[in-house]
Chains A and B, each alone.
Chain A
Amino acid sequence: MNRFSARRRLVWGASLLLIALHIWAPSAAAPTLVLGVLPWDLAFHLAWMAAAALLIHLAARFAWRDVDGGPADE
C-alpha cells in the first residue's frame, strides 16, 4: 500500500465517522438558541460542516494525487 492509498483510507474512515455523526446527530427536544440567534440544530450542523470542510481540505492536499503531474492551475 503506497502512502496515497493509506491517506485515502484515512479520509474515507473519517468521512464515515462524520456521516454516522450526521445520521445520529443529537437533536434538541426543546427550542434552544445558541448565542441568542442560532437554533441548536443549525449550530450543530454548522460545526459539522466546518469539520467536513477541514477534512476535504486535508484530503485535497494530502490524498488527492495528480497522477499526470500536470501544470499548476494558475
Chain B
Amino acid sequence: MSDGAVQGAVVAVYFAIVAAIAWAASRTTTATPEDYFLGGRSARTLVLFMALLGTNVTPFVLMGVPGIAYHRGVGVFGLNAAIVALGIPLSFWAIGYPAWRAARKHRAVTPAELYAARLQSPALGVVLFVAFVVYTVPYLVSSVLGVGVAVSVLTGDAVSLEVAAGGLLAVTLVYTATGGMRATMWTNVFQGIVFVGFVLVAFVGVARHLGGFERISARLVAEAPQLLTRGDRPMFATGAWASWGLAISLTVIAFPHMLVRIFAAKSVDALRNTARAYPLALVLLWVPVVMLGVWGAVAIPGLEGRASDGIFVRLVQDAFGPWMEGLCLAGVLAAVMSTVDAQFLTLSSMLSRDVIRRLRPDLSPGGEVRLGRAFLVAIALLTGALVVLRPASIYAIASFSFSGYVMLVPTLYLGVRSRWFTATGAIASIVVGNAVLLLAWIQPTPVLGILPVAWGLAAAIAAAWLGSRWGEPAADGPVEV
C-alpha cells in the first residue's frame, strides 16, 4: 500500500465516522428554525464544551501559531494562550450568560436578532449582521486555507490547495445542511477528540524523534537562543503585548458562531462547566503547538515568511510514517471542519433570520430552514472562490478578523447589561469603532506602540456612551446575572 493510499484510507475512515454521526443527528432534527439552527437549545456540558472548543480551534492554532512561533519563539505562548485562559471564560460569564438568558426569553436564534429585539431596533440588527459577515468570511477563508497548506505539504503538492479546499467544503456542506446545529455539535465532540489527541501524540512523537525533550531543548539553547526569550521584538513590546492580549481575549465571545453555540446551551451548569474546563484545554493544545513551531526552527531551519505555516506538518512527516501522516491530515481536517460547520450554519441562519425573514415575515418555519440550506451552498461557493485567491498568511487574515470582532464587544456587553445603552449608541459604537480601527490599521507603524484594535475599542466605547444620549434603552432593563 503506497503512502498516499494509507493517508487516503485514514482520512476516509475519519469522513465515514463524521458522516455516521451527522446522519444520526439528522434523524433527531426537526424542520423548525430553533431545532435546525440551535439544536433545540439542548446542549449539555460535554457537547457544549467540545463544540465551543472545536469552533474556537482553527488552523490559526494548528498551522498559524507554530508558523509564527518558528520565527518569533516561545513568547508566542504568553502572547496568545495565557491571556485567553482568563479572558475567554470571563467573557462566557460576563457576556455569554446574560446573552444566553436573553436569547431564551426573546426566542432569538442569532445574535443580531437578539440585540435588535432587546433594543427594539431592526436597523441595529442589520448593522450587526453586516459586521458579523464582514469579519466572518475572511476568518472562514483562513480556516480553509489551513487545510490547503496541510494537504499540499503532506502530499508533496500532488493534491492542490484548490482540490483540498473543495473537498473539505463539500463534505462540511453536506453534513451541516442535513443535520443543522445538532449534527455540527455532535460531530464536534468526535472532531475535538481527534485533533486534541493528534496534537498530544505528535508532541511526544516529534520530541522523541528529535532525541527527547532535554536534547531538543539543549539544541535550542545552543542553536537558536533568541527563540527562548521575548527579546526586543516589536510584537512583544508592552503596548503591542497588552493590546493584542485585549484583542484575543475579547474577540472569541464576539464570534457569532461562538455566541450562537452559547445560545444552544441547555443550562447554566453547562456554561459554568465549559468555562471551568477551558483553561486546561488551552494548555493541552497550545504548549505543543508553540513548542513544535520553536523546535521546527532548529529541526528544519530556513523556512521564510508564510512557508513556516507548514512546519507542524513537516515535523510530523519527518517523525512518523504514513499512518500518522493520515492522522495528521484528519486532525487538521477535524479542527477546520468543526469551525467551518459552525461558521456556515451561523452565516446561513443570519441570512435567513436577519435578512430574509424581515423582507418576508410570512415565511413558514420549514421554508426558513430550506432557505438556510440554500444559503449554505452559496456561502460554500463564495468561500471556495476566495480561497483560490489566497490573499495573505493564515496569521495575518486571522489577526484582521479578530480585531474587527472586538469592535462589537461594547455592544454585546452593554446590550445585555446596561441601563442606559440604546440602539443609537450601539450603531455609533460599531460604525465609529470600525472606522477608527481601519484608520489605525493603515498607519505604517502602531500609533504610540498600541495596536489598532485598542484604538478602535476605545473609540467604540466612547461612541457607545455618546450615542446613547439619543434613543431609549432596553425596555426590560439589564439582564440579571
Contacts and interface: CB of A to CB of B under 8 A. Distances in A.
A71 B90 CA distance: 23
B267 A56 contact: no
A10 interface: no
Which among B225, B238, B272 has the greatest number of chain A C-beta atoms within 10 A?
A: B272
Contacts of B236: 27
B268 A25 contact: no
B97 interface: yes
A57 B245 CA distance: 21
A64 B225 contact: no
Interface in A8-46: 15, 18-19, 22-25, 27-33, 36-37, 39-42, 44-46
A32 B225 CA distance: 9
Contact of A73 (B44, B74, B97): B44
Given A23-B245, A42-B287, A60-B276, A53 B214 contact: no
Contacts of B275: 56, 59-60, 64
B279 A31 contact: no
A27 B230 CA distance: 7
Contact of A70 (B81, B268, B291): B268
Given A53-B279, A59-B93, A70-B268, A25 B221 contact: no
B267 A25 contact: no
B283 A31 contact: no
B75, B101, B280: most-surrounded residue (chain A CB, <10 A):
B75
A49 B85 CA distance: 6
B282 interface: yes
Contacts of A52: 82, 85-86, 279
A73 B82 contact: no
Chain B interface helix/strand/loop/mixed: helix
B475 interface: no
Contacts of B268: 64, 66-68, 70
Nearest to A36: B214
Contacts of A25: 78
A52 B414 CA distance: 25
Interface string B225-245: 100111000001010011001
A64 B74 contact: no
A62 to B, nearest CB: 11
A68 B85 CA distance: 27
Given A27-B230, A37-B214, A60 B90 contact: no
Contacts of A45: 77-78, 81-82
Contact of A64 (B44, B97, B245, B480): B97
B278 interface: yes
A22 B245 contact: yes
A68 B265 CA distance: 14
B238 A23 contact: yes
B409 to A, nearest CB: 16
A64 B229 contact: no
B23 interface: no
A70 to B, nearest CB: 5
B86 A19 contact: yes
Interface string B206-223: 000000011001001100
Nearest to A55: B86
A29 to B, nearest CB: 7
B476 to A, nearest CB: 14
Nearest to A66: B268
A54 to B, nearest CB: 9
Contact of B270 (A27, A49, A73): A73
B273 interface: yes
A73 B78 contact: no
A7 B311 CA distance: 45
22 contacts: A15-B90, A29-B229, A31-B225, A31-B229, A36-B217, A39-B217, A42-B74, A42-B78, A42-B291, A46-B283, A48-B78, A52-B82, A52-B279, A53-B280, A56-B86, A60-B93, A60-B272, A64-B97, A64-B272, A64-B275, A72-B267, A74-B45
Interface of A: 15, 18-19, 22-25, 27-33, 36-37, 39-42, 44-46, 48-49, 52-53, 55-57, 59-60, 64-68, 70-74
Ordered nearest first, which 3 A-B pairs have the shortest CB separation?
A: A73-B269, A31-B228, A53-B279
Given A27-B230, A27-B236, A36-B214, 12 more contacts: A27-B229, A31-B221, A31-B225, A39-B74, A42-B77, A46-B283, A53-B279, A66-B268, A67-B268, A67-B480, A73-B267, A74-B45
